[in-house]
């Protein structure tokens, strides 16, 4: 069962091509983060999420400096080397300065249409509402022009249901991992989440349901080593999770933008697209990349650590991600005050040697074990 | 760099400004980003303080490294903007040329210079437990639109309410109007001064403009600021009239894109002088003089103001940037352009290599991208940069 998920993420390109042919829907590449897939699905597109990859950086160096994050550099690499030929258009959000400018680079270099769901950074409610309504209108028209289909309340209702189900199942998987630490290996858990980036959701949901049924029957293994919560923008590189498994460390929860921060989102409000998008962008989990003074990351993370039973936090830091880097020192200080130890591990998606990472994780866990 | 007589006046008004800010017992202090709508703050008699300006002062006086190291010891990554790190370090240690900035009572950040400022100011807000007001000015991927202007104007109105609530006084609309007029007046003198760079030889160097832009950033909206830029314009206009160039035997005329390398101002000045290469236009200095990229609404001051804050150079799409750079190349009779790929400023720098290709293609003028940083000498390789610049200068056709 689990092998199926691994096989998907090992064969991303052929997976997408296969379903593109079967579904006869244009593939829309979705850049990080929080672009509601429901909109693409409702417009008759096939969304695939691009959270970076482990390609060696060869061509994208021409246009992206080495001080850009490996997420941006590797997605551009993929397009430049022709690895994203099946992608017909790109959907962006304005989560950081690099991605905002990356969209401009795409517009100058490639012919593919791009859309940006600009995320308002304001606390003034009415201003946000009017502005976002206009943005949503532009984005939906853009999507419709690529797919040739209109977003209707019915199509949005269907898309909302299928993605709500998907995230509900993912939350169930999170719950199983937390209540029965070790019931699913760390490497397998993130492979399951990652497969969802590329598979059509109805197929993914069926696979996920099957897996959960199996896991529910399994007893909780005995967890000897410390339980950990991970925090960062991107959970990749997935190979790194083999280290956690080798060290028999159980990740019991996470605060990844492409993990829990997305999985925790409730059903998209299809009756009111504006409310749907607003809710999706700003709730329920805070993110370093989304300005929302109503949510406090410090309180949120402390609560999460306590609820999950994690004994420590690993900050999984993708190099050059400024929004993440700005938040961290104060967050670490606050955790310390609460008696929660943490460690920061710097990651590049293209890294192949995980030995130093392993040493640091092991040292951190030994420290936790006293 | 050119020693303008006006520099003593600038030092005087900047000193007065910082003394008042450091000693006031009655006026509230607001920390602002360089692109924030200070007009509203001035209208309520709140002293605006610019951490970016202070960070630049720290680097120009070669104090940024020790300050950044203090911030880095507190856990701030070397990956984040060196201005922010310098300021964090100065704040922790009360260091830098004026021993730290006066504590903020409120914070106002605008996203027109980057989205990163919201992160930077959230850190300060948390540290001092003071309110933060973010004026969101989204990136103009497709030029100026009515919706973007409406969005910004609405936030201005909310900002007025925020300031009125804070000061417990009604917002002073009349004062705002005067301040907007004074701000425009100062910008106009600044812009007229910058236009004198079209003269051959250029009476000033862009490195001079980086120094002389301090008042337009921190004192915009005051009579002092207007008087200063009028004085500077008149001095430079006289030099232009007499055809006195900022460097002898001007041979090459180039544009500088992005912030300066603050810790290398003197060295760069000597380098360009030796090469007879005059920096005569700079997108950074132009940012406080109106870009001409978009027409401003003169009938409605709120809309005009919104357009000017939205239309900051680094907040506009590449199509508009290319058009603007090409226009400057033509109008200033440039022989080439230098783009500073600035590790600390992603909105300015990411995509620069593509911009360079396209501008060269469009204008036929050579361009070069150099890798550096506005504030962090530790990531700067002088030999590498100068070798690149030498090769670039050799590739240009001289003006005579």
CB B288 within 8 A of CB B217: yes
Do the Cβ atoms of A122 and B136 come within 8 Å?
Answer: yes
Do the Cβ atoms of B350 and A64 come within 8 Å?
Answer: yes
Query: What pLDDT sits at residue A125?
Result: 84
Query: What pLDDT sits at residue A30?
Result: 98
pLDDT tens across the length of chain B (400 residues): 778 999 999 999 999 999 999 999 999 999 999 999 999 999 999 999 999 999 999 999 999 999 999 999 999 999 999 999 999 999 999 999 999 999 999 999 999 999 999 999 999 999 999 999 999 999 999 999 999 999 999 999 999 999 999 999 999 999 999 999 999 999 999 999 999 999 999 999 999 999 999 999 999 999 999 999 999 999 999 999 999 999 989 999 999 999 999 999 999 999 999 999 999 999 999 988 765 656 677 788 899 999 999 999 999 999 999 999 999 999 999 999 999 999 999 999 999 999 999 999 999 999 999 999 999 999 999 999 999 999 999 999 999 7
Structural domain boundaries enclosing A88: 2-149
Query: What pLDDT sits at residue A17?
Result: 96
Residue A64 is assigned to a structural domain of this protein: yes
Residue A124: pLDDT band (50, 70, 90) is confident
Query: What pLDDT sits at residue B290?
Result: 64
- What's the CA gap between B261 and B206, in Å, rounded? 12
Tokens representing B237 are: 């206009």
- What's the CA gap between A208 and A211, in Å, rounded? 5
| B chain contacts of residue A75, beta-carbon cutoff 8 Å | none
CB B312 within 8 A of CB B112: yes
Residue A223: pLDDT band (50, 70, 90) is confident
| B chain contacts of residue A328, beta-carbon cutoff 8 Å | 75, 77
Query: What pLDDT sits at residue A370?
Result: 86
Query: What pLDDT sits at residue A224?
Result: 83
Mean pLDDT in residue range A275-294: 96
Residue A313 is assigned to a structural domain of this protein: no
Residue A256 is assigned to a structural domain of this protein: no
Give yes or no for A348 touching B (CB within 8 A).
no
Distances (CA, A) of B182 to A81, A89, A186: 53, 47, 62
Q: B-contacting residues of A 241-260, CB under 8 Å? A: none
Do the Cβ atoms of B346 and A97 come within 8 Å?
Answer: yes
Q: Examine the predicted complex and report whether its ipTM is higher than 0.90.
A: yes
Residue A68 is assigned to a structural domain of this protein: yes
A343 to chain B: nearest residue by CA?
B75
Q: A-contacting residues of B 95-134, CB under 8 Å? A: 111, 114-116, 118-120, 122-123, 126-127, 132-134
Instruction: Tell me the pLDDT tens digit for each residue of A250-273.
Output: 999 999 999 999 999 999 999 999
Task: Please report the domains of chain B, with CATH numbers, ordered by start residue.
Answer: 6-172 (3.40.50.11890), 175-395 (3.40.50.11900)
Buried b (16+ CB within 10 A) or exposed e, B133-150: bbbbbbbbbeebeebbbb
- A163 to chain B nearest CA, in Å? 29
Pick among A326, A327, A332, A347 to test the B interface (most B CBs inside 10 A): A326
Question: Within its chain, how far is the Cα of B29 from the centroid?
Answer: 21
Instruction: Tell me the pLDDT tens digit for each residue of A13-71.
Output: 999 999 999 999 999 999 999 999 999 999 999 999 999 999 999 999 999 999 999 99
Do the Cβ atoms of A97 and B114 come within 8 Å?
Answer: yes
Residue A300's Cβ-count burial label (10 Å; 0-12, 13-18, 19+) is: middle
Residue A46 is assigned to a structural domain of this protein: yes
Query: What pLDDT sits at residue B297?
Result: 73
- Closest in B116, B136, B350 to A68, CB measured: B350
Per DSSP, the residues of A220-264 read: PPPP-SPEEEEEES----GGGHHHHHHTT-EEEEEEETTTHHHHT
Residue with tokens 């900035």: B101
Buried b (16+ CB within 10 A) or exposed e, A142-179: bbbebbeeebeeebbeebbebbbbbbebbebbbebbbe
Here the CATH number for the domain that contains residue A138 is: 3.40.50.11890
- Closest in A63, A123, A322 to B80, CB measured: A322
Give yes or no for B323 touching A (CB within 8 A).
no
Distances (CA, A) of A96 to A99, B126, B133: 6, 21, 19
How many domains does the structure of chain A reveal?
A: 1
Do the Cβ atoms of A130 and B147 come within 8 Å?
Answer: yes
Mention every residue, 6+ apart, whose C-beta is less than 8 A from residue B337.
Answer: B254, B255, B256, B257, B325, B329, B356, B359, B365, B366, B367, B368
- The pLDDT mean for chain A works out to 97
Query: What pLDDT sits at residue A245?
Result: 96
Residue A303's closest CA among A325, A288, A326, A284? A284
Residue A120 is assigned to a structural domain of this protein: yes
Residue A105 is assigned to a structural domain of this protein: yes
pTM (two decimals): 0.97
Residue A299 is assigned to a structural domain of this protein: no
| A chain contacts of residue B144, beta-carbon cutoff 8 Å | none
- What's the CA gap between A9 and A4, in Å, rounded? 9
């Amino acid at each position: 069962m689990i092998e199926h998920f691994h096989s998907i993420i090992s064969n991303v390109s052929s997976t997408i091509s296969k379903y593109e042919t079967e579904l006869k829907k244009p593939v829309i590449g979705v850049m990080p983060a929080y672009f509601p897939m429901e909109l693409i699905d409702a417009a008759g597109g096939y969304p695939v999420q691009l959270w970076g990859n482990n390609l060696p950086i060869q061509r994208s160096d021409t246009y992206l400096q080495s001080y850009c994050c490996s997420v941006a550099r590797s997605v551009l690499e993929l397009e430049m080397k022709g690895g994203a030929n099946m992608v017909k258009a790109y959907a962006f959000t304005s989560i950081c300065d690099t991605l905002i400018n990356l969209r401009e680079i795409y517009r100058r270099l490639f012919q593919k249409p791009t859309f940006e769901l600009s995320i308002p950074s304001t606390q003034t409610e009415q201003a946000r509402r009017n502005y976002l309504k206009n943005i949503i209108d532009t984005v939906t028209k853009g999507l419709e022009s690529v797919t040739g289909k209109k977003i209707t309340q019915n199509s949005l209702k269907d898309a909302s249901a299928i993605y709500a189900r998907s995230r509900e199942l993912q939350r169930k998987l999170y719950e199983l991992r937390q209540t029965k630490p070790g019931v699913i290996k760390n490497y397998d858990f993130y492979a399951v989440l990652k497969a969802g980036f590329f598979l059509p959701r109805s197929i993914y949901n069926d696979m996920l349901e099957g897996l959960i049924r199996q896991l529910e029957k399994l007893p909780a293994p005995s967890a000897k080593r410390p339980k950990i919560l991970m925090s960062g923008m991107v959970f990749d590189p997935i190979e790194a999770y083999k280290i956690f498994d080798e060290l028999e460390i159980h990740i019991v929860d996470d605060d990844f933008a492409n993990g829990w921060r997305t999985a925790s989102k409730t059903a998209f409000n299809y009756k009111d697209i504006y409310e749907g998008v607003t809710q999706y962008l700003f709730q329920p989990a805070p993110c370093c990349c989304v300005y929302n003074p109503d949510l406090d990351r410090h309180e949120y993370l402390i609560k999460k650590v306590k609820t999950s039973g994690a004994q420590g936090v690993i900050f999984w830091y993708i190099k050059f991600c400024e929004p993440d880097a700005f938040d961290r020192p104060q967050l670490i200080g606050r955790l310390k005050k609460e008696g929660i130890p943490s460690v920061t591990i710097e990651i590049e998606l293209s890294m192949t040697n995980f030995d130093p990472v392993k040493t640091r994780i092991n040292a951190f866990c030994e420290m936790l074990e006293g | 760099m050119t020693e303008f007589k006006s520099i003593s006046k600038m030092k005087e008004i900047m000193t007065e400004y910082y003394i008042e800010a450091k000693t006031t017992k009655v006026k509230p202090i607001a920390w602002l980003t360089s692109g924030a709508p200070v007009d509203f703050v001035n209208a309520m008699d709140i002293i605006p303080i610019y951490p970016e300006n202070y960070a630049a002062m720290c680097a120009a006086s070669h104090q940024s490294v020790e300050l950044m190291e203090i911030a880095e010891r507190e856990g701030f990554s070397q990956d984040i903007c060196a201005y922010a790190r310098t300021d964090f370090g100065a704040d922790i240690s009360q260091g830098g040329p004026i021993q730290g900035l006066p504590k903020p009572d409120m914070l106002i950040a605008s996203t027109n210079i980057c989205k990163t400022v919201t992160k930077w100011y959230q850190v300060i807000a948390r540290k001092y437990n003071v309110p933060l007001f973010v004026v969101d000015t989204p990136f103009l991927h497709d030029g100026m639109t009515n919706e973007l202007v409406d969005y910004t104007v609405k936030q201005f109105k909310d900002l007025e309410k925020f300031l009125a609530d804070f000061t417990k006084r009604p917002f002073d609309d009349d004062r705002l109007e005067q301040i907007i007029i004074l701000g425009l007046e100062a910008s106009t003198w600044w812009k007229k001064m910058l236009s004198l760079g079209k003269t051959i030889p250029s009476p000033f160097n862009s490195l001079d403009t980086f120094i002389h832009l301090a008042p337009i950033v921190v004192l915009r909206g005051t009579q002092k600021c207007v008087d200063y830029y009028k004085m500077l314009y008149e001095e430079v206009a006289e030099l232009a009239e007499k055809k006195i160039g900022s460097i002898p035997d001007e041979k090459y005329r180039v544009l500088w894109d992005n912030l300066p390398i603050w810790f290398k101002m003197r060295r760069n000045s000597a380098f360009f002088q030796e090469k007879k290469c005059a920096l005569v236009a700079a997108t950074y200095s132009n940012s406080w003089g109106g870009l001409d990229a978009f027409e401003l609404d003169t009938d409605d001051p709120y809309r005009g103001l919104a357009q000017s804050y939205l239309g900051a150079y680094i907040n506009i799409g590449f199509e508009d940037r290319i058009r603007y750079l090409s226009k400057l190349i033509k109008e200033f009779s440039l022989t080439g352009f230098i783009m500073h790929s600035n590790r600390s400023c992603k909105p300015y720098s990411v995509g620069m290599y593509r911009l360079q290709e396209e501008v060269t293609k469009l204008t036929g003028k050579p361009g070069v991208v150099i890798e550096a940083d506005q504030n962090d000498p530790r990531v700067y390789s002088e030999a590498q940069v100068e070798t690149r610049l030498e090769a670039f200068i050799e590739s240009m056709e001289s003006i005579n």
